[in-house]
Structure 1
Amino acid sequence: MPELMTFEALLALLTLTSLEIVLGIDNIVFIVVITGRMDPRHRDRARKWGIGLAMFTRILLLLGITWVMRLTAPLFQLPVLEHTVTGKDLVLLLGGLFLLAKATLEIHEKTTGNPTEHAAAEKAAASMGSAIAQIVALDVIFSLDSVITAVGMSRHIEIMIAAVVISVVIMLIFSGPVSNFVNKHPTVQMLAFSFLLLVGVFLVAEGLGRHIDRGYIYFAMFFSLFVEFMNLRMRKAGKI
């Protein structure tokens, strides 16, 4: 126990917590989109349950790290891309394709005003259970990198779990205001769908062995948000 109170352990906790928070940005965007389809009376509860269960899923991934590390073992070769596919690649690829499909359907509905048959059925079935299941499933995909990285940065499972819990608490605090803000502004909703497309492309590229630095994606997201906030201020001032 005393070894968990050393400077190195506290530094590892701070670093891992920061990593979890940064990687959780993608998750918050997805949670906002998923719960946006729900009855406003149930959004808050679905968001909290989804994030809470996702936290336990991340902890289970950490406790089952032997299984997680097996996902990095080679499965087969793609000669065209000169890439050896692993279980992790397949998970990222499927998650990326799901996000691309979902974001495309959402953008189609918003821009045409005529929801597709799939989107209409999804909206009618946007139940608490389906929303929570999607949040937890995508959180597993988003968490794979951070879990594998955490193992390389710390030898203590307690520090890894503490970092996950702290980051989830912060996510719970901020996801509510972010969700309310996005749902009040249609243009910001469109921006959120665009972010999902961006993250989907990132996951597909990663799954095919084409690494893209997340820094580029986060810079694009924050710059777009900055421009949109300026537009919102100008509209509020009556200049647009």
Structure 2
Amino acid sequence: MNLLDPELIVAFLTLAALEIVLGIDNIIFLSIMAAKLPLHQQARARTIGLAGAMGTRIALLVSLSWIAKLTADLFSIAGMGFSGRDLILSLGGLFLFWKAGGEILLMLRGESHEVGDRGGDRGVTFAGIVVQIMVLDIVFSLDSVITAVGMTDNLPVMIAAIVTAVIVMMFFAGPLSRFVDANPTIKMLALAFLVLIGGVLVLEGVDVHVDKAYVYTAMGFSVAVEFLNLRMRRKMAELSASALR
């Protein structure tokens, strides 16, 4: 295999970029969940979560025959077939609904941060957060790997692209987590994204295809508007401070 083959390089760069885009929802989820832990445990939880995502993706890639079986129908209801992939996506989407929806309700009640004795949210354990991150890793990894398999059949290129994407995500996970936690409106927007993604996963699980381009365009537009709101609030705060002097 010629590592300087232009086709391989293009496939690697394209797939790595796609994996990063597909990993945005994963980063949002693990950042919000890790923020529930004491500060000294958050970075470790994020690293374990992303390392687990990388391990899951690679394990799925080296078992392509098993992935192929996941697309075969296991049973049907009212003439609609359900495969292993459909069940995983549907359950993962419902899990996202439950977690993100629950977090939104807590924020609306002002109960999203009941601090325990050692910092972090009351009743939250490191193991519990890591397990929840791992559960969603499986769902996000399945979608990511199926996309990778559809783009190229070169296993080393797929693995290299996934490892590169996860390393990039590890680099940005910390700053993103701190930014989301420091800005409640951004956190609410991120949770709304997770509810949206949960809905998309459930629809995919019942064979209703949703073009991801529309989803990510809507997310990008919402983020742009929220950044304008943040800048406006900062400017208004500066003007108010100046007026009081």
Matches within 5 A, 1:65-80: 65-79=64-78
Task: Give the alignment's TM-score, normalised by structure 2.
Answer: 0.89
Aligned mates of 2:161, 2:121 — CA distance in 1: 35
Question: Deviation of residue 125 (structure 1)?
Answer: 3.7
Aligned mates of 1:44, 1:111 — CA distance in 2: 27
Residue in structure 2 matching 1:143, options 129, 141, 150 = 141
The aligned counterpart of 2:226 is 228
Question: Deviation of residue 181 (structure 1)?
Answer: 0.4
Which of the two has higher C-alpha Rg?
A: 2
The aligned counterpart of 1:157 is 155
Matched position secondary structure for 1:110 = helix
Partner amino acid, structure 1, of 2:195: L
Partner amino acid, structure 2, of 1:83: M
Question: Deviation of residue 72 (structure 1)?
Answer: 0.3
Residue in structure 1 matching 2:105, options 99, 103, 108 = 108
Residue 92 in structure 1 maps to residue 89 in structure 2: yes
Give the count of matched residue pairs. 231
Contact 2:97 2:199 in 1 (8 A): yes
Q: Please, which moves more after superposition, 97-106 or 134-143?
A: 134-143
Q: Which runs of 4 or more aligned residues in structure 1 lie more than 6 Å from their structure 2 counterparts after TM superposition?
A: none
Aligned mates of 2:80, 2:144 — CA distance in 1: 22
Matched position secondary structure for 1:5 = coil
Aligned mates of 2:125, 2:31 — CA distance in 1: 15
The aligned counterpart of 1:118 is none
The aligned counterpart of 2:169 is 171
Question: Deviation of residue 49 (structure 1)?
Answer: 1.5
The aligned counterpart of 2:243 is none
Partner amino acid, structure 2, of 1:229: F
CA offsets, 1:192-222, max 9 Å, x none?
1111110110111111111111111111111
The aligned counterpart of 1:134 is 132
Matched position secondary structure for 2:105 = helix
Contact 2:20 2:165 in 1 (8 A): yes
CA offsets, 1:140-167, max 9 Å, x none?
2112122123223222211110000000
The aligned counterpart of 1:180 is 178
Question: Deviation of residue 136 (structure 1)?
Answer: 2.2
Q: Provide closer, same or farther for how the CA distance between residues 152 and 217 of structure 1 changes in structure 2, counting only shifts above 3 A.
A: closer
Contact 1:92 1:203 in 2 (8 A): yes
Aligned mates of 2:38, 2:136 — CA distance in 1: 21
The aligned counterpart of 1:14 is 13
Aligned mates of 1:216, 1:55 — CA distance in 2: 26
CA offsets, 1:87-127, max 9 Å, x none?
00000000000110111111111101257xxxxxx943422
Residue identity over aligned pairs, in percent, reads: 47
Aligned mates of 2:233, 2:103 — CA distance in 1: 25
Aligned mates of 1:23, 1:125 — CA distance in 2: 31
Unaligned runs of 5+ in 2: 113-119, 241-245
Residue 200 in structure 1 maps to residue 223 in structure 2: no
The aligned counterpart of 2:209 is 211
Q: Provide closer, same or farther for how the CA distance between residues 114 and 170 of structure 1 changes in structure 2, counting only shifts above 3 A.
A: closer
Contact 2:12 2:158 in 1 (8 A): yes
Aligned mates of 1:220, 1:40 — CA distance in 2: 32
